[in-house]
Amino acid sequence: MKITYKGDYALKAILDLALHYGSMVTIHELADRIDAPIKFLEQVLLDLNRGGFAQSKRGKVGGYQLAKQPSQIKLGEVIRYIDGPIEPIACTEREYTQCRDIYRCIFRSVWQRVGVAISEVVDTLTFADLVKMQKKPKQSLHYEI
């Protein structure tokens, strides 16, 4: 998994739309709040429309809004849609099942475990959770190893 800037902007855009759920947000406001180049952000939003995450309206009072409730959008969905599979690939590319080398199965099981571990984070968090976290910063995600 690698989160590109495109993915990063996409996630922040959706969080912003979630925080303003119910009203229209223009791309100017969005670009300003998430600090993204506006022309690049246009493409991201276009993708989010096509992915069924956002809805747009043109014209004078146009803008973007979420196409679903924040609680219905998982982080993982957006990440996968924008930046591709969550697993640390490199091997699936070459049709891993056809690999000549003899250690393929071992590492496949490792990457699968990693994939599950990542999924347990990004597929259990919705944007409704992030909204809560944003509003109550004390309830942020804490961790002790």
Partner DNA sequence: TACAATCTCTATGGATATAGTAGAGTATAT
Partner DNA sequence: ATATACTCTACTATATCCATAGAGATTGTA
Contacts with its own copies by CB under 8 A lie at: 1-5, 7-8, 11-12, 15-16, 33-36, 75, 88-91, 99-103, 105-107, 109-114, 116-118, 120-122, 125, 130, 133-134, 137, 140-141, 143, 145
Per rule CB under 7 A, is residue 4 in the interface with DNA? yes
Q: What share of the chain is helix, strand, coil (3-state, %, to 5)?
A: 55, 10, 35
Interface with DNA (CB under 7 A), residue from 52, 62, 97, 109: 62
Contact 8, 1 (CB under 8 A): no
Q: Which is nearer to its own copies, 60 or 100 (CB)?
A: 100
Cα–Cα distance measured from residue 6 to residue 133, given in angstroms and rounded to the nearest whole number = 23
21-30 in b/e form (b: 16+ CB < 10 A) is eeeebebeeb
Smallest gap from Cβ 136 to DNA, in A, equals 29
Task: Indicate the DSSP class of residue 97.
Answer: G
Query: Strand pairing of 54-57 and 63-66?
Result: antiparallel
Look at residue 61 and give the partner it binds from its own copies, DNA, none, a contact being a CB closer than 5 to 8 Å depending on partner kind.
Answer: DNA
Smallest gap from Cβ 59 to its own copies, in A, equals 27
Look at residue 132 and give the partner it binds from DNA, its own copies, none, a contact being a CB closer than 5 to 8 Å depending on partner kind.
Answer: none
